[in-house]
Copies of this chain bind each other. A is one copy, B any other.
Amino acid sequence: MYVLDALPQTHSYSFEALELDCGRTFSPVTIAYETYGRLNAAKDNAILLLHALSGSAHAGFVNDKGEHGWWEDFIGPGRALDTDRYFVICSNFLGGCGGSTGPGSVDPATGRPYGLSFPVITVGDMVRAQKHLVDSLGIRALLAVVGGSIGGMQALQWAVDYPDAVKSAVILAAANRLSAQGIAFNEVGRQAIMADPFWQNGEYYGGTSPRTGLALARMIGHITYLSEESMHEKFGRALKGANGYHYRFSEDFEVESYLHYKGSRFVERFDANSYLYITKAMDYFDLPDLASIKSKTLIMSFSSDWLFPPAQLKSFVRTLRRKHKDVTYCDVQSSRGHDAFLLEVAPLTELISGFLENVAGPV
């Protein structure tokens, strides 16, 4: 039923000289991206979709490798990001490992992967690189920037840094800073990676990668993405085998099995150094000054999200309202924790569709 225009188009854009928050100028930069739908003649129907930690540019549809997009149910004709109407761009962020320049990319100066010589980047840097991409497409103002988790941080950073280039922002399961608890979990994940003897101070490319450390980091992350409630519903204390406890240090419970599976699958597709850089960018994210924002903003928390709890988002929304910003806020009732922004298709589709229609105006 999908029109050809809606199918994913994979691209990359390269440019020289990106100014970074750390003070360095970095060069060259490549940003991998996919697009869905068609940019109209006025170039005013573009939506920039921003992915979370483990995401990539591949957001919509099943691609030619058979891979599902990370927000597939939200992209397409008639969906939240309606490809009959909007031109959706999703770029892999700077520092990632999905085609954009990151610590695993080859440094042209040495002919070897950057590793830890890659600069420590911020969400601001990621957004600055995306601005180059958007400019290259001739888009003066995005109809919307949309993202969840660190994608939501990027959406907010866009609204703050480029108020004239952002008509609206949709921020899901994110606020204007990461909490101390969030920093703590990220740091333990990083320590797990750096403690892996195969990490080799980040110079493992071409050899064995720090799989065990990265899997551990991912397992910690997964606990924070689910809620206590969803873990209880999904697994409870269900045992893996039929014969009761093993009285060994092997997997006894389904929840252990699930975490091991998630950890081992992640290391097949993700670079450990990227994990370090991305979590550091999350930790550094802190935008107290929201005065510059001009966009309409839709903010959603999820009732069981304990990484970005509703109380924190409500306080963020109050801050915006005190500054007379145009904010729509909804706390979506969900047992699915932080991951709800990927899973609660029906309520999100309704809220986002309505919001975008309001921004874009009648067809």
Contact = CB atoms under 8 A, between A and B. Distances in A.
A256 B183 contact: yes
A164 interface: no
A16 to B, nearest CB: 21
A116 B276 contact: no
Contact of A183 (B192, B212, B237, B246): B237
A96 to B, nearest CB: 17
B188 A216 contact: yes
27 contacts: A119-B247, A120-B246, A120-B247, A120-B248, A120-B249, A177-B237, A179-B228, A180-B228, A181-B232, A183-B237, A183-B253, A183-B256, A184-B223, A187-B253, A187-B259, A188-B220, A191-B216, A192-B216, A195-B216, A216-B216, A220-B220, A245-B284, A249-B276, A249-B280, A252-B283, A252-B284, A306-B306
A228 B190 contact: no
Given A120-B247, A180-B236, A228-B309, A195 B212 contact: yes
B219 A191 contact: yes
Interface string A80-123: 00000000000000000000000000000000000010011000
Most chain B beta carbons < 10 A, residue from A181, A188, A197, A228: A188
A259 B188 contact: yes
Interface string A138-167: 000000000000000000000000000000
A185 interface: yes
Contact of A179 (B183, B190, B232): B232
A191 to B, nearest CB: 6
A223 B284 contact: no
A231 interface: yes
Contact of A228 (B249, B253, B255, B306): B306
Interface string A197-224: 1000000000000001100100110010
Most chain B beta carbons < 10 A, residue from A116, A183, A194: A183
B276 A223 contact: no
A286 interface: yes
A25 to B, nearest CB: 14
Contacts of A181: 223, 226, 228, 231-232
B194 A249 contact: yes
A219 B188 contact: yes
A235 interface: yes
A196 interface: yes
